[in-house]
Structure formats: C-alpha cells, structure tokens
Structure 1
Amino acid sequence: MRLTNAEQAATPRSGAPIPTPAAPAAATKEPGARPSHWRPDIEGLRALAVGAVIASHIGFFYAEGGFIGVDVFFVISGFLITSLLLREIDRTGRVSITGFYARRAVRLLPAAAVVLAATLAAAWIWLPRTRLPDIATDAAAAALNVVNIRLAREGTEYLNADAVPSPLQHFWSLAVEEQFYIFWPLLLLAVALLARRVWGGRFAPGDHLRRRRTAAIAVVLTAIGAASLYLSATQSGPDPVWSYFGIHTRAWELAAGAGVAVAAAHLRRLPAWAAAAGSWAGLGLIGASVLLIDERTAFPGTAAALPVAGTALVIAAGCAPHRFGATMLLGVAPAQYVGKISYGLYLWHWPLVMIGPAMLGVEEPRLRHYLVLMAAAFLLAVATFHLVENPIRTRRTLVQVPSRALAMGGGLITGALALSILASLQPMPAASNEEAAEITGDDATVWDLLDESSDVDTVPANLTPALEDAKLDEPALYDDGCVVERDDPNVDEDCWYGDPDGDKTLVLFGDSHAAQWFPAVNQLAEAAGWRLLAMTKANCSVPDVREYDPKLEREYTECPEWKDGVYDLLDDVEPDAVVAATYDDKEVMADDPDAAWTDGWVESVERLEESADEVYYLADSPDLGEDVPDCLAENPQDASTCVGDLDDALIEPERREDTEAAVADTGARVVDPIPWMCDVDEGTCPVVVGNLLVYRDSNHLAARFVAELAPQLAAAIPLEPAESQ
C-alpha cells in the first residue's frame, strides 16, 4: 500500500508559508489574514492531493494511483518554501536559519504531536499489544523526522513481509521534507553570501547582484534536481523500498517546485491564454497520474515526472494573471476549505484507516466503513485546525520570537519521545497464571500434545517464546546473513553448519519457508555427523518459474540468477542429500500459473538430482492468514479463537497434490509436514502446543517449535550416520 503525506508549510489562514517576523506581511496584516502572495490555485491543489491520497488508501473507485498526491505536495512545498526564502534574501540579503526553523516548528509540530499522542493511545486501546512496541518506535522516529529511514530498513527485511502497516507510516513524507529543509536553506544562505562577496561591490549595477544570485541558485538547484532524478530513474526498479521512502530519490520533486519559484519573475510575463492552457494541461496530467499509475509502477522512478510536471505546470501558470484557467475548478469554496485543513486531514486519515476498523469492531472493512472513518477524519482535521494549528501559528509571542517557537518545538518533540518510551514499556495483557506442560523432547513431545492443543483456552504463563518476543524467534541463519536479501543475486558459500568434520553433505535449499526448518535440519546433520550447507534466499521459490515480487514490484529476476549460482556450487560440492522447501503463496507469471508451478518444481528437482544423491521435497507448512502472536494478544483468555482451519491453511491444495505427485514421479522423496503441526482428523492447526508458540507470524513457524520437530523430521529424512559416528 502506498503512503503519502501532505505539504506542511502554510500561512495562518490559507496554508501558504508563514512570513518571517521581519516580513512586511507580518507587520501590516493581522494574524490569520491572507498575505498578498496567497494562491487559491495552490490551495485547491492541496485539496486535490489529499483527496487523491485518501481515495487511494480507502480503495475508492479508480483511484489506485492516488498516492501520487505526495508528489503534488512535494512540488507545492518546494515552491512555497523557496519563494519565502527568496523573498527574505531579496529583502535582507541573507536567510535567518533560526527564523526558518521556528516557523516550521510553529506550523507543523503542534498538530503532529496531537496526532502522535492520539494514535499511541488508540493503538494501546484497540490494537494487539504485541504491536505497541513497534508503533511506539515509529512514533519516536516520526518525532525525530527519521521514520522514512526506519520504514525503508524495515521494508527491506523479508521477515516483515506480512507485517501490517504502521498507523504512523504516513509520517514518512514529512520526514523527507524536513530532511530536505535541513540543507536547502543553508545552501541558499551560502549562495547569497557568496554572491554578495563576488558580485555585490559598491559600484555594481542596481539589479546586477539579484540577477547573478538568482542564476547561481538556479545552477545549484539544477544540479540537485538532476542528481536526484537520476537516482530516482535508476534505483526505483532494483531498490524500490529505499527509493520510495528516501530523500535521495525525492529531492528532485521538491527541487521542481523550487525551480518554479526561481523562475517566477519570468513566468509572470506569460500570455494569459498560455497560462490558462498550461494550468488545465497540468491539472490533466495530475488526473492522468491517478488513473495510469498503480501499485506495480516502479515509483517514484520516471513515472513521478507525470504528477510532478502537472503540478509544476499549474503553479507556473498561476504566476501569470489569467482568466478561465484551472483556478475556476480549484478555487471553488469547498476545495479552498479542504486545502486549508489538508495538513490535519492527512495526519488524521491514515491512523483511522489502520485503527478505525478495530474501533468499529469490523474485521473486514468495506468502502462504506472507510467513508464513515474519513468523515471522522474530516471532523478531527477541522477541530485540529481551529483549536490547535491556527491559534498556535498565529500567536505573536511565537511568530515574532523564534527562540520561543524553537523551545516549544523542542518541548513537543521531547513529549512525543516520552510518550513513545512509555508506550513501549506497556506489558502484555495477563492471560493465565497456569503453566502448560513443557515440551522437553523426553517426557512430553509435540507429538504427544498435538491432538489436544486445538482446545487450549488460555495463553499459558510459560509460553515460549513470550508473545512480545515472538518476532525474534527466528533461525540463526538470519543473524548469520545466510538468508540472502531479495536484491542480491550472489551466492554465499560460507553458510556451513552441522558437523564441520563430516564426510557427507546435506543442503537446505529454498526461501524463508526452507530457512524456518533450519533448527531441526541442523540437529539432524549434527546427530548424523554430516555437514550442512544452507542455501536460502528471501522469497525465492525453488521451482523454475517466473515470479512477481510484491516488494520489488517487478519480476524477481535475482531469484533465477541466484539459483543458477547455487546449482553451480552444488555441482562442485556434490551433496549427498538436498532438502528443498518453498512458500506456496507466490505470484507466478504464466498463462496457467498452477501448471507452471508444478512443472517448475519438476524441472528444479531434476536439476538438483544431477548433483545430489537424494532430493527431498519438504511440502509447505500452513498459512493461518493472520498474525498469530497478535491474535493471541487480543484473545489471551480464548486462544482457540486463533486456531487455524486446515482446509483454509493450505495454499492451493489441488496444486499442492499435483506437485507432490509430479515430484514423486521424478524419484525424489516427498515429505508432508502437516501431520506434525495440525490435527488432521479434526482439520485444525493449533497455535500453542504445550508451552510452545507454533508461529512467529501468520505463516512462519517459530524456531523453538521447529527444533522440537527434529524427531519427526529425522524419521522422514533418515541420514545415515557417518562412519566416524
């Protein structure tokens, strides 16, 4: 799901930048009055952008590409903020850095702090307690304007593939803006000072310094924009997560708006007919972006040029006086009001999208539910604007004394950090004082307790791992870097385990659903005196198929490249046995995906048989469809609610049967693990067996649980003990 953020620099009434204390507007106008440079077309663009974002997020008709609203806001922000800074430079010859950041603090932080606090409280009340630490960390990152970096890092980790988006994820674009504005005012100040030294002599012509200074700013701006656009075009495909959230691929969008501000004096001379036509053309490009761009578009890439160019055209056209332009539509009263409250509307809408269904008690929300929630977001935005934003940003003691504004901003950030820490320390809800039978591998085993586990009522006090630690209960392969990341096609030849002195070699091959079996497979290898080579890669299927990767948002070309490298390595190693496993829920790019999947498994198994003496196809484990630790945290007194239905937990059961039969025909051995973790007779898949948590998310088995399945795995995959044993 794409997430975007609205432009945040606005005036007391209209949403345009707040004048500096020394600006004429501040001296001649009452707080809340519109400055002379107020632009109704820009106010309308804000309304259009936030409306597109919301429509995209709630699944409104034909609005999948509405996330481009963030690009509209970036251009608006670049134009307005740079216009403000250029006016200050023209007036004083320099930029007040403290004044600039004071205005940002007064404009942005109060509303953001209110939303952060309210979201943390709502998450504590309505969301599973297991999610609260992560949301608290997101809140801290948002307060420090680094949440985009956190999201990029989290998004590139395969174990978070099925994680629910954070209700604070939308703060990423505010972080991008603030990161841009860390260096942009400083660059403008440096250019202004250098220009005055070089061209500002006593005998220089009157307008000479201003023209040269503007040209120098244009050169700097062009260099920044060109470099960022190049990174956007070249990195959005191979590295989509960092490209989407990163300042390096977004700076050009802000620079585009800044470029319009630099050229504004020339744009004022546009013929009226050209300005009117340009504004409509720009509006058309923005509308086309919503319709043509979707989740599969490599973004921002070059695709973002469509909404960026459209927004720049509308703003540029508005620099010249004209009639019959797009302001006829953008300037209507409802659009003007929505534009005025767009910052608060953006801040409130996403937490309500993510938490609102739980507040309403709706498990599968529909569009009508989201429309109700967006009505609530509108009311909250109105209240926030009139009770928080406007009163604070028009308060003379803050507007005219930057030190006070900065102190207020520091206090709000500190308060948000304190709330984040407090939220992260909240304990899990108490379930029961009773302790379940411990799985010891001797007295009580998973096999002994499985049949009665679907009727477990409460989460045991000695649950292992504890719910708050469930996400961390992963195989050692991850810490060792032996689960290769998506964008890396290289084979790591150093992932050796088992008995290092063993004469025979076992290979574990596949994606994360192969890696999850490592604790048991490694026990087998150690007990038999075999070496174990772990060849696993994030989301990379064993079968020879073309697959679409939702994280990369394109065909997963690195997967077959990596597998070719693995096959070459296995030809050299000549393993005695290979255990291959894969998550069945993959998007196969073929006319007949099921047939391609089965045929792909056969081709890959036959290729493995060229190198190995024995090949074992370890069929996929169940997918329960919802995060198990979250479910148990919500239902600590009724754990049976989280028990999975076996029929629903098997992905494509008919294809699974066909694949097992086809692989068996190749001579490979098929191992079905379902009876080890599900009550086949009752058709249920427990989530707690004895004191063990079975799943660390919706579909990955917990490492501690897998370790206890070693006896079952040993019976299915008998390894002949080495002679030294």
Structure 2
Amino acid sequence: MHLTLGSHTLSARADRADEGRWAYRPDVDGLRAVAILLVVSYHVWFGRVSGGVDVFLMLSAFFLTRGFVRRMTGPTPVRPVTHLLGVFRRLLPAASVTLIGVLVVVWALYPETSWRGVWEQTWASLTYTQNWLLAADAVDYYARSEVPSPLQHFWSMSVQGQAFVLWIALLGLCQLVVRRRGLSPDRVVGVVFGAVFTLSFIYSVVRTATAQQVAYFDTGARLWEFAAGSLLVVALPHLRLGAVSRAVLGWAGMVGLLVLGMVLDVRGGFPGFLALWPVLCAAAIVASGTGESRHGPARFLASRPLRAVGRDAHALYLVHWPILVTFLVVNDRTEVGLVGGLGIVVLSLVLARALTWAVDQPVRSWRRADASPLVPVAVLTTAAVAVALPVGAWQTTSWVHERAVEARAQLTNPGAAVLRDPALAEIPTDATLLPLPTLLEAEWTQLERECTGEWATGAEELRGTCHETAHTARARHTVVVIGDSHAQQITAALLPWAQENGWGVVHLIKGGCSMGLDEPGMDELCDSWREAAVGLVEQVKPDAVMTVVTRSDAGEDDEKVRAGIHRFVDRMSDAGIEVLGVRDNPRFAFDMFGCVADAADPLDCAVPRSASLADSNPADVLARPGVHLVDLTPWICPDDLCVGVIGNVAVYRDDNHLTRIYARTLGRSLAEQLPAQWD
C-alpha cells in the first residue's frame, strides 16, 4: 500500500510537471520582448548585434516543438503539411506588407543605384533565401555598396523559414515513429534533435573558424540553436530546482543576455561556440519560470508592458530596420544620435502595433474562424502576389527604359570620343547619362567564359578567377590581363583592339590583389593567389601580360609605383613575356558616380588631377625593352581636371573604378600606345 501511494504521488508530480510545460507562459512572451528590444537598441544606437536574434531562433523551435510533442500521442496528431502552411500563414502576410512598404519608400527616397539590389533582395526575402544571398555577398569583393539594404534583416527570417520546413518534416517523422512504435515522444524527439544539435554545432564551430562571414548567414551553422529549443522542451519536465536555484538561474540568464552585446563581437564571432551564450541564457530564463518563484525574473517578464511588446515582437523586428536605414539614407548620415534614435524607436513601436493590429490579428482570427486547408493557401498566395506584382512591374518598366536608352547610346553617349572629335560634343539636351543607375552593378568588365584548354587549371587558389574571350582558344596571339579590379576595368579598353586584330584575352583577376608582389592585399589569400596566377602565366607563356603598375590614392601627395611590381616585371621578362604597364586611374574620397547623378552640374564634382596623380608617370622607371607603358590620363583627366562625366558617359562607377562603358570608349587611345608590330 505504501509503495502504491508513493507511485501515485510520483505520478501526480510528473503530471503536474508535464502540464507545466504546456501552459501559457507570459514570461516567455516577455523574454521575446527583451530580445527584440535588445536587437532594436543595439542596431539603432550602437551599430552592433546583440544576440537577441539567437534567442528568437531558439524560442521559435521551442514553441514549434512543444506543439508537436504535446499532440504526438493524443487523439488529434499534428498534420505536418497543414501545420507548415499554418506557420507560413502566420509569418508571410506581415512580411509581405513590410516588403511592399519598403518598395514604396525605396522608389520615393532612395538613389536609383540601390534599386536593383532592393529588387533582388525583395525576391530573396519573399522566397526565404535572403540569407544565402547575403552569404554570397559577404565574400564577394564586388558586392560592396555605399547604401545599406533596408531588407538585410530578412536574413534571420529566411533562416527561420528554412528551419521550420526541416523541423516540421523531422517532427512529423518523430510523430510517426511514436505512434507506430509506442515510444516516448520525449525520448524520440531528444534523440533526433540531439543528433541535429551535435552535427550542426560541430559544423558551426568549424565553419565559423574558416569562413565566419559566410557562417553567420549559413542555415546549417544555425540549426543547433533551433535544436537547443527543441531539447529544452524535452528537458523541462525533468528539471528539479528549488525556488532559490531557479531565481539565481533566471537572473544570471537575464544579466548574461543584457551584457552579451557589450562584451562580445556578436557580428564578427557568431555563430560558433560563442553563440552558446545567448542560447544558454535564454534556456536558463525559460527554465527558471517553470515553477512558483517570487524572486526570479518571471514576474518581471510577465509584466503587462513587456507582454505588449512581446505581442508585437515579430512586427517590430520587421519594421525597425527599414526605418533605421531610411533615416540614414535620407539624412546622409552614419549615426542617428540620441534624439534621432528615440524617434526611430517610437515610430517603430507605433508601426509595429499597427502592423500587428491590421494584419497579424485578422489572420489569426480567420484561422480560428475557418479551419479549412484552403484558407492558408489563399492567404499565402495573396501575400506572395501582392509583393510579386509591384516588384515585377517595376523591374519590367525599368528594363523597357534601359533598352530604349541603349538603342540611342551610339548617338548620344560617345564618351571619350568627344575628346578626339569635338563635333561629337553636340549631344541632345534630353540625352540620358550612361550607365543608368539601375545597371551600375553590370558595369564590371566580365569576359565570356571560364578558362579552357591550357589556361584551365585545377589550382584551388585560382578557382573562379580565370576567364577568357570566346575566341581565345583559336587565337594565334594572347594577352593576359592580370591583377586587381582596376586591371579588370581597363580590359574594356583593350577588347575592341583585341577583337579587331584577332587576339585572345584572358583574365586572371582577383579583387584587391594587384601585381605589386610586396603590397598587402585586401584578401588574406592574395599572396597565394598571386603566386599561382604568375606561375600559370610563366607556364603557358602568352604573348603579353597587361596590369596596372602604379597606385593612386585620394589625398595622397604622390602616386607611386606599386610595391613589388619590379619583381613581377622581372619574372615576366625572364619568361620572355612582354608587359603592358598601365598607369592607374584617379581615386577619390567620395562616390563620384553618386555625386554626378545628384549634381545640377557634373563639373561641381570635378577634382584637380594633382589631388590623386603625380605630375609625371611614376611607371617611367620601369621602362626597358619588352615593357610598354600605357598612360590614359589625358582621356580620363582632360585639361588636368578629373571630371565625372565625359561625352555623356559617367567615367566612374564609384569612388575609384572606371565604368565599363567609359573604359570601352578609351579603346582607340589605348590602341595607339600598343607596339606597332602587334597589329
């Protein structure tokens, strides 16, 4: 009898503990509020990342797993497909309204140079692939932008959406095993997500150590944070902590969460093992609120103000970042200040409340009023079409305009040709400046295909950096353009001559890695890339190589020969390869394209040549047989003035790179400086 009573007592305690994890947790809503307030405040005032997003990722899996586990053995198991549709019905409408609002604001207030990037990120955000787009940009030298994206924060929504698809599939399999085998839901879920946690955590640590910028956006490196939320659901009934222990645990978690962003570089060190900090802090806070305790943080977190903010947390996350970025763009600032920041926070709270009231609450009410599976399909379709139609129409309209301008370009956009033939200067007053701002990203000079034949190499260092013109394999003569993005851009001036004379052109280009063999590169892999590239040239022995041999810098006293360029020239001479040494173009302390696009008169943006270039070409010291120097300065800075527009073509695409269009108009000037025997 005693044993039976003891058994019933233990069973009753277990039932109460189990019921506790299904009950509504107002303190967890408050925790969501703390997390979103940390995200917003750190973004607005500190320009840093707080770790609050990591808390959101863990809690989203916590709630999703809790709903599944509770029903796994009951009479109404979860239907995975229906549940998945329901999850996205909850998320997508508010996100779509935000995307539409951002499109309107960008069209009205942002520079046209940012439009194409916003279109691309709108599609990526709508399809929950924004994180992969940002991961690619994080390691792309050419993806730098002066204007921050108002949609960058959708990366975490994309990670969350991808994880939800995987989680519902795994939980559906767990439910199937539990119902067919009669196993414990906690045990099955614990094993499955314990394995996910282990594998993802190991991958995250390794990936963060080797490619942190990519790892930050990598879903695989984040799955363990979701798995931690699932494991917390399984662990809660088994926690046996006293009131004092729970209070200490909870407040320790709160303090740890609040100081995290001040102590760690979250953006630069996550999501490896350092991300355990916010995840464990959040777990400690959730665990501390599982029982009665007057001294823990649960009562504070369950307060009405925090629950109100927690209710709007999703909407607040959506709206705060576009508001912040728009403030910076419109005011041309990099910081908001105290007053500006308060205004941004207040406006974000107001718009978040409006978004929750106007979109989220009606969607929830419709769900409760109509359980038909057609409802989420209708909601998702409407939300997707509402975004796809305006962004698609905007892109189409822009494309039509671009083709019309392109058709008139030969007559209205002569570029450097006006410096050779003044008669061409009579450009119609309504002519459009090229390149169009929406096509600025297309202004990088790219060759047609990856290297083939003897230029194809298995060297890992050269992967993705070797390209050639389509006729290179058939050409009797070949010139290799080697070096950084400045060498890449001047290639556009070489291509007309190469095509006319039947020469093949090969690109060995890595952004930020010049042929100044003693220069520090912008990439830590520059030295190994340079050696592999030079080695390939020495092996194949083309007729000539072309590279930029000087370096100009805005505000510097003098332009200089690149450090170590002598060693490069010596190696080419030893291999019997002729060298075309091109003088660098000017660089500026501001975005020249942005300046001329906004200026009433492009001459307002002009800079004296002496501000960036030396009086005479420093590369003259390299002159020797087999070395041919090319100086295009008279056609880039006519009359010793470096202007942003020549012949109705923008000379620069940013603060230091020539546009592809203008560089191509330099073709005749470059051809005149090539050796006569090459024709």
Place the TM-score, normalised by the shorter chain, in its bin. 0.7 to 0.9
For the pair 1:266 / 2:238, whether they are aligned, the reply is yes
- Alignment of 1:640 with 2:601, yes or no, is yes
Structure-2 separation of matches of 1:398 and 1:291: 46
What is the rounded CA distance, in whole Å, between the counterparts of 1:69 and 1:673 in structure 2?
52
Distance 2:352 2:474 in 1: 66
1:721 aligns with 2:672: no
Aligned to 2:230, the other structure's residue is in SS state helix
Over the aligned positions, Cα root-mean-square deviation in angstroms equals: 4.3
User: Would the aligned equivalents of 2:465 and 2:509 in 1 still touch at CA under 8 Å?
Assistant: no
1:144-176 per-residue CA deviation (whole Å, 9 max, x = no partner) reads 323333333455544322363432222221121
Cα deviation, 1:31-68, whole Å, max 9, x if unaligned, reads: xxxx973334433332332233223333x24x6232x2
Cα shift readout 1:526-567 (whole Å, capped 9, x = no counterpart): 566655442212332333457575xxxxxx332211111122
Relative to structure 1, the CA distance from residue 51 to residue 669 in structure 2 (aligned partners, 3 Å threshold; closer, same or farther) is: farther
Pairwise mapping of residues 93-104 of structure 1 onto structure 2 (< 5 A)? 94-104=77-87
| Alpha-carbon distance between aligned partners in 1 of 2:550 and 2:36, rounded to the nearest angstrom | 38
| Alignment equivalent of 2:509, drawn from 520, 524, 536 | 536
For the 8 Å contact 2:153–2:321, the answer to whether it is kept is yes
AA in 2 matched with 1:557: E
Q: Does 1:306 align with 2:277?
A: yes
Match of 1:702 among 645, 659, 671: 659
Q: Structure 2: which amino acid aligns with 1:618?
A: V
2:306 aligned partner: 335
CA distance in 2 between partners of 1:371 and 1:715 (Å): 60
Amino acid at match of 2:662: F
Specify whether residues 478 and 172 from structure 1 end up closer, same or farther in structure 2 by C-alpha distance, changes over 3 A only: farther
Give, in whole Å, the separation in 1 of the partners of 2:589 and 2:578: 33
Tell me if the contact between 1:228 and 1:251 (Cα under 8 Å) persists in the aligned partners: yes
User: Which of 102, 107, 110 is equivalent to 1:119?
Assistant: 102
Q: Counterpart of 1:621?
A: 585
Unaligned runs of 5+ in 1: 1-34, 201-208, 550-555, 587-593
Answer yes or no: is the 8 Å Cα contact 1:130–1:629 preserved in 2: no
Shift of 1:596: 12
Conserved in 2, the CA contact under 8 Å of 1:282 and 1:313? yes
Equivalence map 1:7-18=2 (5 Å): none
Cα displacement (A) at 1:380: 0.8
Cα distance in 1 for residues equivalent to 2:447 and 2:108: 36
Query: 1:366 and 2:327 equivalent?
Result: no
Letter in 2 for 1:568: G
| SS of match in other structure, 1:71 | helix
Q: Work out whether 1:563 is the aligned partner of 2:530.
A: yes
Which is bigger in relative contact order (C-alpha 8 A, separation at least 6)? 1
SS of 2:481 mapped into structure 1: strand
Shift in Å at residue 74 of structure 1?
0.5
Relative to structure 1, the CA distance from residue 546 to residue 466 in structure 2 (aligned partners, 3 Å threshold; closer, same or farther) is closer
Identify the residue that residue 48 of structure 2 maps to in structure 1.
64
Matches within 5 A, 1:152-167: 152-162=135-145, 164-167=147-150
- Give the drift of 1:452: 11
Which residue of 1 is the match for residue 15 of structure 2? none
Asked if 1:46 is matched to 2:16, the reply is: no
Instruction: Report how many residues are paired.
Output: 645
Checking the alignment, whether the CA contact within 8 Å between 1:575 and 1:612 is kept in structure 2 is: no
Q: Which residue of 2 aligns with 1:80?
A: 63
Q: Does 1:686 align with 2:657?
A: no
Is 1:675 the counterpart of 2:634? The answer is yes
Is it true that 1:508 corresponds to 2:503 in the alignment? Answer: no
CA distance in 1, matches of 2:54, 2:178: 32
Instruction: Give the structure 1 partner of residue 7 of structure 2.
Output: none
Which residue of the partner structure matches residue 24 of structure 1?
none
> What is the CA distance between 1:139 and its match in structure 2?
2.4
SS in 2 for 1:445: helix
CA distance in structure 1 between the partners assigned to 2:359 and 2:81 by the alignment: 23
TM-score (norm 1): 0.76
Residue equivalent to 1:519: 492
SS of 1:506's partner is strand
Give me the whole-angstrom Cα distance separating, in 1, the residues matched to 2:551 and 2:258: 38
Letter in 1 for 2:36: V
Q: 1:494–1:146: structure 2 CA closer, same or farther, 3 Å change rule?
A: closer
* Structure 2 CA distance for partners of 1:240 and 1:439, relative to 1, 3 Å: farther
Residue 445 of structure 2 is aligned to residue 475 of structure 1: yes
CA distance in 1, matches of 2:502, 2:408: 36
Deviation at 1:686, TM superposition (A): 2.0
Q: For the residues of structure 2 that align with 1:75 and 1:337, how far apart are their CA atoms? A: 21
Q: Partner residue of 1:14? A: none
Structure 1 position 76, deviation (Å): 1.4
Q: Aligned residue for 2:290?
A: 319
Contact 1:646 1:680 in 2 (8 A): no
More divergent stretch after superposition (489-498 vs 416-425): 489-498
Structure 1 residue 263 displacement after superposition: 1.1
TM-score, L = length of structure 2? 0.81
Cα deviation, 1:342-399, whole Å, max 9, x if unaligned, reads 211111111112223455x556653243442332112111222233323432446546
- 2:56 partner amino acid: F
State the alpha-carbon separation in 2 of the partners of residues 546 and 287 from structure 1.
43
> How many Å separate the matches in 1 of 2:360 and 2:237?
32
Stretch moving more, 298-307 or 174-183: 298-307
Partners of 1:275 and 1:401 in 2: CA distance: 43
Secondary structure (helix, strand or coil) at the match of 1:310 reads helix
| Distance of 1:352 and 1:583 partners within structure 2 | 43
Cα shift at 1:75:
1.0
| CA shift in 2, pair 1:582/1:325, >3 Å | farther
CA shift in 2, pair 1:620/1:94, >3 Å: farther
The answer (yes or no) to whether the contact 1:129–1:429 under 8 Å persists in 2 is no
CA contact (8 A) 1:95 1:188 kept: no
Deviations 1:206-236 (CA, angstroms, capped at 9, x unpaired): xxx4xx3321211110222222222222223
Does residue 247 (structure 1) correspond to residue 203 (structure 2)? The answer is: no
Q: 2:3 corresponds to which residue? A: none
